[in-house]
Structures are given as structure tokens and as C-alpha cells.
């Protein structure tokens, strides 16, 4: 186990914390670029409360509205242009994962001098990560992505139908204001997707990481158990603030690095899903719910003992003399049943996706990221044919 790790983001967590936005933003300047999504924050009053908090602290706001799901490079460029034109001192993201990812990319794009798409990872193109960004404050309105407390962003290039990512130290938010009250109006399906999203962040590291990380394993199991305990309560009753808080805290920890540190894991399920949502604009976590169980069945063939442990420790499968293979199968079945029980799709057909482009998905995925030998970094590494097999298994 070898790693260098740092996460300098401060987190202000709890019901009512939105009121701290102004004071926090005021630390960084007098004018904020306020990045929002499709408009739900305006309908439910969150936008007005955010503005009020900023105003009370003497911070004016210029809005960049309309960040779409699977946010686009053109949106990032639009936001960066507003920030430059208006002389913004700080970028505030008020929304879900897409809004936060776009806001982070905007904050860096303000100073970026290369070709914009070069800011995002590519195995076959140019990749020049950003080295400077405006201060970023994240205010998530959805428990899912973990983007509020990490240094990553996922952006879609609509011209090339590529969806890629960037991680860079300058993209760590200065502060994440995580207020579970802001999530009580999230509808059932989005709540369920969020639970799936956070669990998938954890399963990726748990199954694809190096050996010899027993503490991280326990942490990963703890996050998944917490999400499986509290997620269904948040889906059943959106106004259950306690459930909303527990799910949101789990979603933060699922991708702020505490669980993944030192695991050096690939993210094959995410990478495959990114291609699907680049082509079809499906909800990211709905895509994850479809791909993950099929991927697990594929990967369990190589390493049944790992999936048997998952079955025992997380899904409560009792061994009673079962082989690793049988225990692993039972665990994955239970996991898939859990996803269905909260309302997630688990088949591509439910997303309106057929097998017409399956080879293209595999090839696009490998174009974004491969290990130099033509395989997707994962455990085991995945060839084009492996990706096709996993997708066929999810039809």
C-alpha cells in the first residue's frame, strides 16, 4: 500500500447550513458566478435563499443557469466566458453532480490557455490538466455524486460524443456546504439513482483495487451498508430528513477519497456507463445500475472469493458450506434485487437502449481510456470483447 493523499476541502454539513454560503463566499471576493441546472432550485426556493445569504454578506451574484444533465463542454465555455466578462471572484455551484462538475470545469477554464477539450483525460489525445482555477464552493441539492468534496469533473464533448473526466488539485472546492434540507424535494427516482450512484463509487474501488487494503475494505462495506439501510427510507419518504442526511453523508464519503485511498482502482463500470450516457443522455446512475450487476457477474468469474466476501459482509449471505462461486452469485443477485427494490432499472432495454451500437460503445470507451495494451483498466483488465459481453449481459 503506497499513496500520497490530500483532501483540503472543508465541509459544512447539516440541516440549515445553506445560510453559511454568504459568509464563506465573502472570504473569496465580492462577486460570485452562481451556476445552476434546470431550474428546480428556483421552484423550491433554494435559489432565493442562496442569493439572500450571498447578499447579506455583500456578495453579488451573476447566474450561469441551465447546466444540463451530462454537462457539455459548450456549457463550460459559456460559464467561463461569463466569469471572465463579469470579473467573478468565486464560483458557486448550486445543484446536482452535473452542475457541480460544470462549475468546477468553468472555474479552471477561466484561466485555461490550451484547447478546451485537452483539459479532459484521453488515452489517445492530448491531456493537459488545469493548474489554476477560481475558488469553488459547492452546494449540492442531490445526494449522489460526491463531486462536492473531491477534485474531479466529468464533461461531455457533444461534438465528438465523448464523455471524459479531469482530476486536478486546483479543482478541490474550498468549501462544500452540504445541507440535507435541500434534498427533501428530490423525486423518488432521482433519490434512488443517487443511492445507486454512491454505492457504485464504492464498489468500483472495492472490486478493482489492489490487494492489501483491509481498512479501506471495511470502510467501503460500511458506506454500502449505510446506504442500503437508509437509502430505502429516503426513497419511501422524501421528507425523512434523518434518512436524507445519512444518505447524503454516505454520498460525500463515497467519493471524497477516504474509501478509495491507496486502492489504485480503475472505474470500469463508470467508464462504460459514460459512453452510454454520452450517446443516449440517460441518467448517469440509471446507467450504472444497469451495467454494475452485469459487470459484477463478469468479474466474479475471475475472483469469486472477493465477491463472496461482499456477499457475506454486506449482503448478509450465510455461507453454510456454499462455494465462493455460489456465495458470490447469491450476493450479486441480492444486490441487483436491492437496486430494483428502490426503483432502479437493471436492463438496457429499460433505458431504451438496444444492441445496435454495442461494439461502438466498447470502442468509444477504450478510446477515452485504455492501458496501452487496448484494455480498460479494471480487475481483470477488460478487452473490447469483455465490454461487449458485459453490455450484452445487461440487455
Positions in the binding site for a copy of itself (CB under 8 A): 1-15, 17, 212, 214-215, 218-219, 221-223, 225-226, 229-230, 242, 245-246, 249-250, 253, 258, 262
CB 244 within 8 A of CB 143: yes
- CA-to-CA distance for 327 and 149, rounded, in angstroms? 35
Structure-block grid coordinates of residue 10: 472543508
| Residue with Cβ nearer a copy of itself (193 or 249) | 249
Q: How far is the CB of 390 from a copy of itself (least distance, A)?
A: 30
39 DSSP assignment: S
Q: How far is the CB of 226 from a copy of itself (least distance, A)?
A: 5
Q: How far is the CB of 378 from a copy of itself (least distance, A)?
A: 23
Q: How far is the CB of 253 from a copy of itself (least distance, A)?
A: 6
Q: Are strands 90-95 and 162-167 parallel, antiparallel or unpaired?
A: unpaired
Q: How far is the CB of 274 from a copy of itself (least distance, A)?
A: 27
- Strand extents, DSSP E, 234-286: none
- CA-to-CA distance for 343 and 189, rounded, in angstroms? 7
| Residue with Cβ nearer a copy of itself (58 or 212) | 212
Q: How far is the CB of 261 from a copy of itself (least distance, A)?
A: 8
CB 391 within 8 A of CB 383: no
Q: How many residues does the chain have?
A: 395
Backbone φ and ψ for 281, nearest 5 degrees, come out as: 55, 35
CA distances from 248 to 9, 136, 174 (A): 16, 20, 19
- Could you tell me which of 159, 355, 169, 144 has the C-alpha nearest to residue 270? 144
- CA-to-CA distance for 311 and 305, rounded, in angstroms? 10
| Residue with Cβ nearer a copy of itself (48 or 229) | 229
Structure-block grid coordinates of residue 249: 453523508
- CA-to-CA distance for 376 and 391, rounded, in angstroms? 14
| Residue with Cβ nearer a copy of itself (214 or 321) | 214
Q: How far is the CB of 241 from a copy of itself (least distance, A)?
A: 10
| Residue with Cβ nearer a copy of itself (26 or 262) | 262
Beta bridge partners of residue 33, listed in sequence order: 62, 91
| Residue with Cβ nearer a copy of itself (2 or 320) | 2
| Residue with Cβ nearer a copy of itself (15 or 388) | 15
Amino acid at each position: 500500500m503506497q499513496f500520497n493523499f490530500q483532501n483540503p476541502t472543508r465541509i459544512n454539513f447539516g440541516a440549515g447550513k445553506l445560510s453559511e454560503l454568504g459568509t464563506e463566499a465573502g472570504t473569496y471576493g465580492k462577486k460570485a458566478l452562481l451556476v445552476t441546472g434546470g431550474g428546480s432550485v428556483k421552484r423550491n426556493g433554494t435559489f432565493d435563499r442562496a442569493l439572500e445569504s450571498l447578499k447579506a454578506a455583500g456578495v453579488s451574484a451573476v447566474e450561469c443557469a441551465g447546466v444540463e444533465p451530462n454537462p457539455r463542454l459548450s456549457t463550460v465555455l459559456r460559464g467561463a466566458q461569463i466569469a471572465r466578462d463579469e470579473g467573478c471572484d468565486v464560483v458557486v455551484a448550486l445543484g446536482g453532480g452535473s452542475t457541480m462538475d460544470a462549475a468546477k470545469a468553468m472555474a479552471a477554464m477561466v484561466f485555461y490557455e490550451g484547447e478546451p477539450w485537452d483539459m479532459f483525460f484521453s488515452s489517445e489525445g492530448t491531456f493537459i490538466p488545469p493548474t489554476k482555477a477560481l475558488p469553488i464552493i459547492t452546494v449540492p441539492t442531490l445526494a449522489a455524486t460526491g463531486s462536492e468534496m473531491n477534485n474531479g469533473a466529468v464533461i461531455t464533448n457533444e461534438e465528438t460524443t465523448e464523455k471524459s473526466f479531469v482530476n486536478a488539485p486546483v479543482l478541490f472546492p474550498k468549501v462544500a456546504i452540504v445541507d440535507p434540507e435541500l434534498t427533501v424535494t428530490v423525486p423518488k427516482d432521482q433519490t434512488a439513482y443517487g443511492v445507486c450512484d454512491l454505492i457504485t463509487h464504492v464498489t468500483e474501488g472495492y472490486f478493482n483495487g489492489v490487494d492489501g487494503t483491509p481498512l479501506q475494505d471495511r470502510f467501503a462495506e460500511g458506506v454500502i451498508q449505510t446506504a442500503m439501510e437508509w437509502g430505502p427510507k429516503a426513497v419511501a419518504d422524501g421528507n425523512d430528513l434523518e434518512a436524507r442526511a445519512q444518505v447524503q453523508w454516505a454520498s460525500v464519503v463515497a467519493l471524497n477519497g477516504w474509501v478509495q485511498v491507496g486502492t489504485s482502482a480503475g472505474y470500469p463500470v463508470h467508464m462504460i456507463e459514460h459512453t452510454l450516457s454520452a450517446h443516449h443522455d440517460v441518467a448517469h446512475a440509471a446507467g450504472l445500475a444497469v451495467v454494475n450487476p452485469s459487470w459484477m457477474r463478469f468479474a466474479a468469474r475471475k475472483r469469486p472469493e472477493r465477491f463472496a466476501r461482499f456477499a457475506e459482509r454486506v449482503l448478509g449471505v450465510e455461507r453454510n458450506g456454499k462455494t465462493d462461486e455460489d456465495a458470490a452469485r447469491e450476493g450479486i443477485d441480492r444486490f441487483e434485487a436491492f437496486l430494483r427494490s428502490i426503483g432502479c432499472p437493471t436492463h438496457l432495454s429499460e433505458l431504451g437502449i438496444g444492441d445496435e451500437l454495442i461494439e461502438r460503445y466498447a470502442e468509444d470507451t477504450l478510446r477515452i481510456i485504455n492501458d496501452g495494451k487496448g484494455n480498460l483498466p479494471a480487475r481483470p483488465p477488460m478487452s473490447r470483447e469483455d465490454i461487449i459481453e458485459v453490455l450484452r449481459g445487461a440487455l
